[in-house]
Each structure stands twice: as C-alpha cells, then as structure tokens.
Structure 1
Amino acid sequence: MAPLFRISRKCLPSSFPFSGNRLCLPLLQPLRHFLHSPTQIRSHSSETTKFLSPFDSNIIRILRTELEYQTQYAPPQEPPASFSFFSVEDRPGEQYVRLRRKFGEKEDINIEATMFDGCVSDPKTGDDTDGEDTRLHISLLVDIYKGEGSDGLGFVCSAWPDGLEIMKVYMLHGNKLLPKAHMGPNIRKLDPKLRKALHQYLEARGVDGELSVFLHHYMVNKDRTELLRWLETVKSFVEM
C-alpha cells in the first residue's frame, strides 16, 4: 500500500508555486503576514463563507490529493453480502464484520471477525530463500447456540491465510460470557485427538480454512474502504 502521505513535489497540486529549486509557500512567510490574510474557502452551507488558515488549507489540499490517488490506485470493491451459508454484515467505520448462519434445525452460529490485528514472519521457502514471508492474522469469535435463551459454546480462533486454528473453547451463559467464567484450557496442550475432533466440529458448520481465505480477501478490501472513509472524515472535519 502506498504511504499515506507522500510529501513530495509530484504529489502536490500543480497550483503550488515553485521558483527554481525553492518552494514558495505561504507557510514560509512571516506568521504575522498570513494571520492577517486568511485563505477563503466556502463552507458546506451556501449561506455562509468560512475562512481557513493556510495551515488548514494545506492539510485539506494534501488530503484531497491522497483521496484522489488512493481512489485511482486501487479502488475498493463492493463487499459481498454472503459467503457459503453465511450472511455477511459489514460494519462501516468499525474494525470487524459479523457473519451469521443456521445449522440444522436449532443451531444459530454467530461469528465476529476483526480486521487484521497481527502478523507473524516465516522464513521463505523454495528457490528464493532470502528474507521472510509475512502472514497476517485475523481473530474470530464463534458463538454457537441451540435455541433462543439457551447456553452456548464459544470459540476463540485465529484465521490465517492458509487455515484456521482454535485457541480457546468456553461456555456462554444465555447470550453473554460471565465476568469470571473459566475460559478453558490451552487447546494446544490437549490430546491431539480432541483437538482434531474440535476442528471437525467447526468444519462441519462451515468454520474452516475456506472461511479463513474468504475473510483475508474481505479484509484487504475493507482495509482500503476504511482508509478512504478515514481520509474523507478527517478532510470534512477540517473543512467544517
């Protein structure tokens, strides 16, 4: 991804005055001069005119340039509303998405997946062994209920680009986790047969490696969407 703010000559609007190798900006003029000569920009209201300082105007110009660049460089796609048997609910402006499905006659499965929240570095394999490969990490909370108001079974999972790993298994009372609830043992320390059985339990419900691959593609797109949203939000605030 391109750096968020590329403060260079090519990224500044053509209207920025240059003189040889010297950049002539209002910011380089004496403070007293531009305090008495504010830049005039019309606000969102058609009835009023707002005056912005050169500092604010410069930020707005840079944000507009970055928005244009990011939009043209890799515009985000419309996020899918479903995957396999799951409905996918995007959370605009938030760092997670929610997935839901029914399994069998009485099971409700709810999943909350974060955006990328970590990574690990692995040595490269194959012909090119120089450097490292980075694998991004997504956290999943998987809640399974059997009927409204019933207790549930919760899973904390790690979704990697090539698979899914269970980290914790715990009980949910009603629709919430009790403050001092026992979160269960470290799954990695359990008997391998039990670990395999737990993975098969989730795989039968569609919580598997294919879901991990889908979520990684989804979050790459959401990351770009949220970047553009953030740039637009900051620009709108400065313009107010």
Structure 2
Amino acid sequence: MLLSQSKTLLRTRMQKNYRLMARLVQVARRIFLFKSSSSCSQALISRLQPNPHPIEKPLCSSVKQVLRTRNYINEMRHSAVDANILRMLRSEIQYEYEYSRPQKPATEVYSFIVEDRPGEQWIRLRGKCEDEGEIKIEATMFDESISVRKSGYDAKGEDVQPHINVIVDISKGEGSDVMEFVCMAWSDYLEIQRVFMLQRDGIPARSYVGRNFKKLSEDLQDALQEFLEARGVNDELAVFLHEYMINKDKTELIRWMGTAKSFIEK
C-alpha cells in the first residue's frame, strides 16, 4: 500500500516537471524567434537605407589600363599636331628670310616723314606746306583686289590689281578747316574718290558733303588733282606706297609667324 502511494507521488512530480520543462522550452523558443526576427528586420532596413559614407570600389586593372592608353594616345596626338605646326612655321620663316627677306622700311619719302607702327595695318605720313599748312596721309595695307579685263587685241582673261585706301587731310594753319581727300592708290597712279570739308575736330563743317568726285566737272577734277600734286600727293607717291606695303606685308607676316611659333612652343 505504501509502495503504491510512493509510486503515485513520484509519477505526479515527474509530470509536473515535464510540464515545467515544456513551458521553459516554449518561452525560450519565443525569445529566440523574437530576437531572430528583430535582427533580420534591422538588416533589411539597413540595406534599404542609403549609406551616408559609401565606399568607392577601386577600378579594376583593365579599366585603368584603358584610361592610361587613351591618355597616352591623346598626348601623342597633341604632340604630333604641335610638332607639325612648329615644323611648318619654322620652314616658312626660314624661306622668307632666305628668299624673300623684307627690306628696312624707309622713314622719309620726298617731303614726308613716315610713321610706321609694327603690328598695325596702316602707316601715316606727315608733311608741311609752303602756306604753313599741314598734310597728313593715312594709308592702309592692301585692302582688296579688283579684277580688270586685259587690254589689247590678243589679250584674254583678267588682271588682278590690288589697291590701297588713302586718306589725305590738308589744313592751312592752326584753327583752319580741313580738306579731306579719300583716294585709292593703284600700282602706278592715284585716284580721287571723294572730297570732304571738315572742321578741325573732324566733324563735317556743313551738312552737305559734296558730290562724288567723278560727277564733278572735268575742269574742277583737274584743278583738285593739281591741288594735291602741288603738295606732293601724286602718282609717284602711289608707287612708293605700293612698294612700302609689299615690304610691310612680308615684315608683318614674319612677325605673326614668330609670335605663333612662340605660343606653340610653350
């Protein structure tokens, strides 16, 4: 009897222990599942959020090699282009000095003093008149060329004739008005285009500026032509201007090529 009661009591305690162990296992499983789900959520959130400090992945060796090759090709191409330009500039400068060297420009011609400014496309001549007046001549380098049909019975085709724009200002003493002649200097003669009357400061003295020179009477044209010639502005001056500008064109070309060469060499 006593033995059966002991067995019953032991069986009851064992059942209570099993139930307690089962509860502990359930609680532990719940805690483990909760922690696992929390860590997974945090990992998922961290993946979805942008990284404030991204780590740049280094370029692979093949990409670096391609970039180095491209840079090398570009540098070689630039060097080749620069070397070609320098070679041509040196050749042209050498040719101009050996076969077409410019002459030292004149500083005086007839009764005029020549004022030349290197690097500019014009020159100025100054002179005095017997009536205490002044003459100022401004001439540009060759402006353009005009095609003229060849003359003669067997002549065919056209000649190209360059010309120079010339402005002649003549005054008669201090404070006087200025008579301005707008001319073209051809290779062997001077042609008047217009005649203006200007105040000393260059403003037209009157609103009416006169007719085109070719529309004036022939007698008046001849008189104005003689007026210029008496002051040394004539066909011989046109010849001088052409020779001077041919020489100046060579000088300015050599100067320009030298400046370009210095720029490329830097």
Q: TM-score, normalised by structure 2?
A: 0.68
What does residue 159 of structure 1 align with?
185
Query: Which residue of 221, 234, 237 maps to 2:247?
Result: 221
Q: 1:33 aligns with which of 60, 72, 81?
A: 72
Alignment partner of 1:58 is 2:84: yes
Query: Contact 2:140 / 2:164 at 8 angstroms: preserved in 1?
Result: yes
Q: In structure 1, how many angstroms separate the alpha carbons of the residues matched to 2:105 and 2:135?
A: 21
Partner AA of 1:146 in structure 2? K
* Equivalent pair of 2:197/2:204 in contact (CA under 8 Å): no
- Separation in structure 1 between the aligned mates of residue 173 and residue 205 of structure 2, nearest angstrom: 23
Is the contact made by 1:34 and 1:54 (CA closer than 8 Å) also made in structure 2? Answer: no
Given the alignment, which residue of 172, 175, 198 partners 2:224?
198
Task: Answer whether contact 2:127 2:136 (CA < 8 A) is retained.
Answer: yes
Residues 83-140 of structure 1, C-alpha deviation per residue, up to 9 Å, x if partnerless?
1111111121111110010011411000001111122222223576232222111111
2:243 counterpart of 1:235: no
| Residue 231 of structure 1: how far off its partner (Å) | 0.7
- Return 195-204 or 124-133, whichever deviates more: 124-133
Q: Which runs of 5+ in 2 are unaligned?
A: 1-68
Cα deviation, 1:64-84, whole Å, max 9, x if unaligned, reads 111112221200000111111
Which position in structure 1 is the counterpart of 2:34?
none
Q: Distance in 2 between matches of 1:36 and 1:138?
A: 46
Q: Which amino acid aligns with 1:78?
A: K
**Greater C-alpha radius of gyration:** 2
**Cα distance in 1 for residues equivalent to 2:148 and 2:76:** 56
In the other structure, the counterpart of 2:25 is none
Match of 2:135 in 1: 109
SS at match of 2:175: coil
Note closer, same or farther for the CA distance 1:161–1:179 as it changes in structure 2 (3 Å cut).
same
Q: TM-score, normalised by structure 1?
A: 0.75
Are 1:172 and 2:204 matched, yes or no?
no
Letter in 2 for 1:167: Q
Q: How far off is 1:141 after superposition?
A: 0.5
Q: 1:31 to 1:155 in 2, by over 3 A?
A: farther
Tell me, yes or no, if the aligned pair for 2:121 and 2:140 is still in contact at 8 Å.
yes
Identity of paired residues, percent? Answer: 49
Q: Give the drift of 1:182.
A: 4.3
- Rounded Cα–Cα distance in structure 1 between residues aligned with 2:206 and 2:90: 49
Higher strand fraction (1 or 2): 1
2:28 is aligned to none
Offset of residue 165 of structure 1: 1.1
Partner SS for 1:53 = helix
**Alignment length, in residue pairs?**
198
Task: Give the Cα separation in 2 of the matches to 1:65 and 1:180.
Answer: 55
Q: Which amino acid aligns with 1:139?
A: N
Instruction: Tell me the equivalent position of 1:10.
Output: none
Query: Counterparts of 1:36 and 1:164 in 2: how far apart (Å)?
Result: 55
Q: Deviations over 1:177-209 (max 9, x none)?
A: 359954321111111111111101001001110
User: What secondary structure, in the 3-state scheme, does the structure 2 residue paired with 1:141 have?
Assistant: strand
Report deviation, 1:61.
2.1
**Alignment partner, residue 207 of structure 1:** 233
Q: 1:98 aligns with which of 124, 127, 130?
A: 124
1:16 maps to none
Matched, 1:124 2:150: yes
Matched, 1:185 2:217: no
Please identify which structure carries the higher helix content.
2
What's 1:3 paired with? none
Distance between the aligned counterparts of 2:200 and 2:191, measured in 1? 25
Task: Give the aligned CA root-mean-square deviation in angstroms.
Answer: 2.3
